[in-house]
Amino acid sequence: MPLRFVIIGGGPAGNTAATWAARLGADVTMIERDIVGGAAHLWDCIPSKTMIATGGAMSFTRRIEGMGLDRVQAEIDMTSLKDRVEGIVTKLNSSIGQLLESQRVRILRGTARLDGPHRVVVETASGDVEVIAADAVLVASGSRPRIPEWCAPDGERILTTRQCYPPPLLPEHLVVIGSGVTGVEFVHMFSTLGSKVSLLVSRQQVLPNKDAEVAAALEEDFLRRGVSLLKGARAIAIDRSEHEVRVRCEDGRVVAGSHALLAIGSVPNTEDMGLDGAGVEVDGGGYIPINHHCQSNVMHVYAAGDVSGKLPLSSVASMQGRKVAEHVMGLHTLEHRHLDYDKAASAIFTEPEIADVGLAEAEAFAMGRKIRVTKVPFSAAPKALINNDPRGFVKILSDPATGVVLGGSIVGRHAAELISVIALAVTANLKVTDIVESLLVHPSLAEALADAAD
């Protein structure tokens, strides 16, 4: 009898695990209460990047004069933007659904919880209850926006990131609370679409966990386009009237706007999942601690994606899902590479775009590790001048003794695509000379990578 593998959650972690395990011969049931594709498709990665792409097109029209063209005045149409977001999500979800069906994954619509270590109970969308026996279970139930006790989002003027796709009207003045990756992406999104934006930065730097030089480049761009940055501003309350929100800060400052957006992190969806009864431990934040095979303390119950408390990225969730499938089906006994979370590339879809991978400069200094840092501005790359966008730089960190590439950051146009070269070098332990001696396209932005590696 094939191994019975039950997966709770159809996001990147769940649907990748389902496809791979089914391909390897498991009998897979995947339970999803919303849409196959998960929060990543419904609210997070896809809708946000679709709106950012529209904002990017608008901001491109503002730079067009320098390219020998007359000024183009783009106007935002919220109805067609909404249709575009929904159209892309529908298209992606139907292709994931088709892929799962082609692998004979059973997709069950409903809400699942563990009922002991080897049974999953599902309350289906039609109100029926189904009990499924499992040889292995994957909890991939994702996360949701963190809502502090001092504020109650109403979906009208006080919004979470899930209530922005897209708003019926463009906020006249949006006050964004939180300056991590999600916060700055929404600042960028709404300011390019045409809203006035104020950003509350609880510390002294946006992106507090990123390279200071990278954060400074973004702050400079925000200020240039009129975003108000309020540093050391920790929100403690939001008052709302019919047409206005007023965000109060710990130090007494009050910031008024038409709307407020909360972007202060997320919490895992692990409550009401029967984890306790199944003997699965969670930590103080509600995350499920895992080993390098993504196993919880109960060996046949796995956790992947945001619930695992590792890097909250769709790319990481998918790769964990794949590793879980391989482990469930016994493939880890063959040649196998553990996931190295320190080598995950990530990007921030602002303007300029920001991407990094591997070791960061500050991290190396904190460890007292000797590194070689080389940096080249895009203004030295012919393609950046041709594109009329010479902002940003490429920075590469390598081992001074061996030349092995340890990490890198890119600020500038197409950073999210270009970082793949450094990510590959970091994962495969390539040397700076491997990048320098690659015969790259000319003119291309990638030439700046070769120059930075030299």
Q: Which stretch binds ligand FAD (CB under 6 A): 125-133, 238-246, 312-320, 365-373?
A: 312-320
Q: Which stretch binds ligand FAD (CB under 6 A): 311-319, 330-338, 357-365, 428-436?
A: 311-319
We find the least distance from the C-beta atom of residue 434 to ligand FAD, in angstroms, to be 26
Considering only residues 174 through 193, tell me which ones interact with ligand FAD, judged by CB under 6 A: 182
Place of tokens 């840092």: 373
Between residues 138 and 448, which has the closer beta carbon with respect to ligand FAD?
A: 138
We find the least distance from the C-beta atom of residue 289 to ligand FAD, in angstroms, to be 15
Of 314, 350, 387, 409, the one binding ligand FAD by CB under 6 A: 314
Q: 79: exposed, middle or buried (C-beta count within 10 Å: 0-12, 13-18, 19+)?
A: exposed
199 binds ligand FAD (CB under 6 A): no
We find the least distance from the C-beta atom of residue 370 to ligand FAD, in angstroms, to be 32
Between residues 61 and 90, which has the closer beta carbon with respect to ligand FAD?
A: 90
We find the least distance from the C-beta atom of residue 96 to ligand FAD, in angstroms, to be 11
107 binds ligand FAD (CB under 6 A): no
We find the least distance from the C-beta atom of residue 41 to ligand FAD, in angstroms, to be 7
Of 6, 7, 13, 245, the one binding ligand FAD by CB under 6 A: 13
Q: Which stretch binds ligand FAD (CB under 6 A): 53-61, 280-288, 308-316, 372-380?
A: 308-316
Between residues 96 and 425, which has the closer beta carbon with respect to ligand FAD?
A: 96
Of 161, 192, 202, 398, the one binding ligand FAD by CB under 6 A: 161
Between residues 14 and 392, which has the closer beta carbon with respect to ligand FAD?
A: 14
We find the least distance from the C-beta atom of residue 12 to ligand FAD, in angstroms, to be 4
Q: Which stretch binds ligand FAD (CB under 6 A): 128-136, 141-149, 190-198, 326-334?
A: 141-149
Considering only residues 15 through 74, tell me which ones interact with ligand FAD, judged by CB under 6 A: 31-34, 38-40, 44-45, 48-49
Binding mask 261-280 for ligand FAD (x = CB under 6 A): --------x---x-------
According to the 3-state scheme, what is the secondary structure of the chain?
Answer: CCCEEEEECCCHHHHHHHHHHHHCCCEEEEEECCCCCHHHHHCCHHHHHHHHHHHHHHHHHHCHHHHCCCCCCCCCCHHHHHHHHHHHHHHHHHHHHHHHHHCCCEEEEEEEEECCCCEEEEEECCCCEEEEECCEEEECCCEEECCCCCCCCCCCCEEEHHHCCCCCCCCCEEEEECCCHHHHHHHHHHHHHCCEEEEEECCCCCCCCCCHHHHHHHHHHHHHCCCEEEECCCEEEEEECCCCEEEEECCCCEEEECEEEECCCEEECCCCCCCCCCCCCCCCCCCCCCCCCCECCCCCEEECHHHHCCCCCHHHHHHHHHHHHHHHCCHHHCCCCCCCHHHCCEEECCCCCEEEEECCHHHHHHHCCCCEEEEEEHHHCHHHHHCCCCCCEEEEEECCCCCEEEEEEEECCCHHHHHHHHHHHHHCCCEHHHHHCCCCCCCCCCHHHHHHHC
Question: How many residues of this chain bind ligand FAD (CB under 6 A)?
Answer: 35
Residues that bind ligand FAD (CB under 6 A): 8-14, 31-34, 38-40, 44-45, 48-49, 111-112, 140-143, 161, 182, 269, 273, 305-306, 312-315, 317
